[in-house]
Amino acid sequence: MLNVIGSHYTYAEVPFGFWLQDFFNLGRNHYDRIVHFSFGFLFAYPIREIFMRIAKTKGIWALWTPIELVLGLGAIYEILEWWITLVVGGDLGIAYLGSQGDVWDAQWDMFLAGTGSFIAMGIVLLVLLIYKKREYITELKNSLKISSKPLGEKALEKIKRKSSNLKHK
């Protein structure tokens, strides 16, 4: 919904952003920054659930993967936004970009999305430590253990054995 509202007015012209600008005496409409923070904060937990259920991530990786994905998607979006602005050009491109004269707008947007995801995963970690402390600490420790041999080396040994068996036949 936040994006629908932003695209309806253009992010720099959303009335709620003007209200915030006036209330906090800000130099610009910060509605787009609320959207980027909300993207990270609201999207991180569903990403965590997907990775836990499909990829079977656990422990630290179930907390880190959503943060990393939000940061990556935020960067991809900012690059696409920049590219579209170059293609469209002129006043329409600048209106689409919505940076409102802030040369650090893309960096702020990515930072806020990342911050939102860090906060969301921090809340998840706190909840897990409060309600499942022993089990979760064990899961965290296990998620950082490295198997005795890296998987790539196991695969290479298997290939070697197959090739040497073929030579002996």
Mean pLDDT of the chain: 85
Helix (H) / strand (E) containing 168: helix 151-168
Confidence of residue 131 (pLDDT cuts 50, 70, 90): very high
If phi over 0 gives left and psi between -120 and 50 gives alpha, with beta otherwise, what is residue 102?
beta
DSSP characters for 95-160?
HHH--TT-TTHHHHHHHHHHHHHHHHHHHHHHHHHHHSHHHHHHHHHHHT---SS-HHHHHHHHHH
Using one digit for the tens of pLDDT, what is the confidence trace for 64-99?
999 999 999 999 988 998 888 888 877 776 666 666
Per-residue pLDDT band for 105 (boundaries 50, 70, 90) equals confident
Look up residue 19 and give its two tokens. 């209200």
pTM recorded for the entire structure = 0.77
Query: With contact defined as beta carbons under 8 Å apart, do 29 and 100 qualify?
Result: yes
CA nearest 31: which of 50, 7, 61?
A: 7
Q: Where are the domains of the chain?
A: 2-131
What share of the chain in percent tops pLDDT 70?
A: 85
pLDDT tens digits along 49-64: 999 999 999 999 999 9
How far is it, in rounded angstroms, from Cα 17 to Cα 11? 8
**Res 74: pLDDT:** 94
3-state secondary structure of 25: coil
